[in-house]
Structure 1
């Protein structure tokens, strides 16, 4: 009988696992979204509407033998996945790849392409009409969003506020953070670190309406559009109590070196959901997915398992189409030109190929 593999989540890690096992197993991907959303390019799409349709990639070409079920997992047990439709999927192996959630525009809103695309067009319209923008949170999302806005609308005031004392938490070389600060200043982005808002703006996020807020040191900031760029979560409420026992205080699941959920030989977790000690990046999710696919294949065919080795800190952070900074331990620092050249296409062709589009 063909081995049944259920992959819960059709994001970056899920599609790689599914495609890697399609030739050897009966693979079912459970994903509520109509199409794959290339989130890495989403902030570029908000600033440049020509990108909006590009970030949606159909699942039609992902699997030759398996299937993608448009549904939501409501209860996942080690051998059964229950869906919101009432269907039950038996599984010899389960791969948890549900990623993370966050406020728009960190993630898209709506499970269908038309709704998500319209939401991005509305966002672009709001950015176009706004006279100044406040972004709360100066992590990678806030920094990239600020860069996209400042590059698309030169001269529009953009302010970033974050209580942290250093850009990127001080995790990267001083030269990178200095270059990042220089480029932000050149774009006209004001960065207030070590500053906390006394209260969130009364104006709803994403609505164009004048407001003022006060920082903890008494400075009054005025803008007419704001967005939260923090608050990411790792949804796992669908897990049975048996699997939820592996959940760590931060919400992520403990995994073994082979990316099995601790205590379960046939349940794996990839990407944002697991607790591997590294930055949660698309590169890490992709590599983890390859390791999981190889390990399930080894368990089916017989053979040694592959241990996953977490990545050392590295990143590629864009600041609009022509700017950005990057760092990889094996390659060193990337300036604006190299970063823009490497990430200018957001590897769109690579991901279209992964999905068989």
Structure 2
């Protein structure tokens, strides 16, 4: 590939599994790398700086220190704490609160800015495109694939042209500007049909992301509408659509009931059993045939594994890279995978895969780092085992839903658990985040559009894999 940079140095042969298939011979690893022999350090390359990749890189670094070189390849220089992205989109938090510097949070880990678009398993080399259009590449001794996921698309006419996903900071900022701009333009329009369209927001997908966006959104638009005299008497309409029979399908029904109640109390039209049949510049046609005029369509239908997985030429299941219970790729003992990119067997449900959730990604990332270290001669390998400890759902204001250790909570107790959990889980920016929450509780919401992310900069069809998919926030 022209323009490639970064020549790999003295790659070694893969370390073989032990006869028992549980670990790797420590003497083999040490004889190859030998800290006393003056040989170079083993290099571990981690693809993706989301929940799984962040934990994997940190896990290897903690076990090896300077004795190993850990390289993290990611399109941005930050770890994005995805569960709080709806609060950025609705003006509760500033975007830097949920973006944690990777160099600061992972001292000693080398950051390579780039989007990986090629993995040569024979040459043991990773290639990427850097942010300025150049090329980069590096060899590896161990590879951890934690590329995450992108927006899940459905063959619905007009969706890729007129809807936007909800995957990262650019899309959150675009949505915030879009909603504010539409209401401000509606306030100066004399056309009632135009006002109605601009004051209608359609959220497609009542899973974790869509439910939070639809729950927090009315708090932003209500605050803005009170300051715009031209909107006096004008209804701001939020619709939440899903083909499932309830919101938060797949989660505990008690959480779903709490979320449904809060949504309806805030005036959100919850349309279960319905979805979008076609999208166009002036609105959407629902599966019922109803036409809904709107200028804002938020696509929260779900996620699919990063397209990088398809190009590897390896076995996949449900679009995810097949791995064993040690997170190793069969036939490639030097390659591990975790998070949304990996089809990890669920030991609690024989024959099933672990869900694409933050809880699994975090634990799989930690285990991948541990097992990578074991493959290089430090410590034993372990199988992935996991039991869910519960979920937390942020609903804005004083509302939340949570079930820590299967104890259902709502209202202020759930709010305390939810925010406490987030602060403990974030790898940085805790004080600043708590300060923003405190300010939001006593001050009016800031409602200005910054215009930093234009419409064409966040197309749905080219969803950036800069971050792993948006997962339900589970207690881990």
TM bucket, shorter chain: 0.7 to 0.9
Q: Which residue of 2 aligns with 1:16?
A: 55
Among residues 241, 257, 263, which one is paired with 1:178 in the alignment?
A: 257
Unaligned runs of 5+ in 1: 111-115, 204-210
Give the SS at the match of 2:259. helix
Rounded Cα–Cα distance in structure 1 between residues aligned with 2:164 and 2:291:
25
Cα drift, residue 127 of structure 1: 6.3
Unaligned runs of 5+ in 2: 1-39, 152-162, 185-197, 223-234, 345-352, 433-476
Pairing of 1:139-178 with structure 2 (within 5 A)? 139-154=207-222, 156-169=236-249, 171-178=250-257
Among residues 394, 398, 405, which one is paired with 1:322 in the alignment?
A: 398
2:368 paired with 1:292: yes
Among residues 283, 299, 306, which one is paired with 1:235 in the alignment?
A: 306
Rounded Cα–Cα distance in structure 1 between residues aligned with 2:310 and 2:283:
42
Rounded Cα–Cα distance in structure 2 between residues aligned with 1:345 and 1:119:
28
Q: Which residue of 1 aligns with 2:113?
A: 70
Among residues 219, 222, 225, which one is paired with 2:290 in the alignment?
A: 219
Among residues 306, 316, 329, which one is paired with 2:382 in the alignment?
A: 306
2:409 paired with 1:334: yes
Cα drift, residue 229 of structure 1: 1.5
Task: Report which structure shows greater RCO (CA 8 Å, sep ≥6).
Answer: 2
2:101 paired with 1:44: no
Deviation readout 1:286-322 (Å, 9 max, x if unpaired) = 1111111111122223442111114448422221242
Moved more, 127-136 or 34-43: 127-136
Give the SS at the match of 2:408. strand
Q: CA separation of 1:122/1:98 partners in 2, compared to 1, >3 Å: closer, same or farther?
A: same
Among residues 72, 75, 90, which one is paired with 2:139 in the alignment?
A: 90
Q: Which residue of 2 aligns with 1:122?
A: 177
Cα drift, residue 38 of structure 1: 2.2
Deviation readout 1:58-117 (Å, 9 max, x if unpaired) = 22213333310111222113321122344331111100111111274521266xxxxx78
Rounded Cα–Cα distance in structure 2 between residues aligned with 1:290 and 1:65:
17
Structure showing greater radius of gyration is: 2
Q: Is the 8 A contact 1:76 1:239 kept in 2?
A: no
Give the SS at the match of 1:295. helix
Q: Over aligned residue pairs, what C-alpha RMSD do you find? A: 2.8
Q: CA separation of 1:123/1:338 partners in 2, compared to 1, >3 Å: closer, same or farther?
A: farther
Q: CA separation of 1:118/1:196 partners in 2, compared to 1, >3 Å: closer, same or farther?
A: closer
Q: Is the 8 A contact 1:278 1:310 kept in 2?
A: no
Q: Which TM-score applies when normalising by structure 1?
A: 0.84
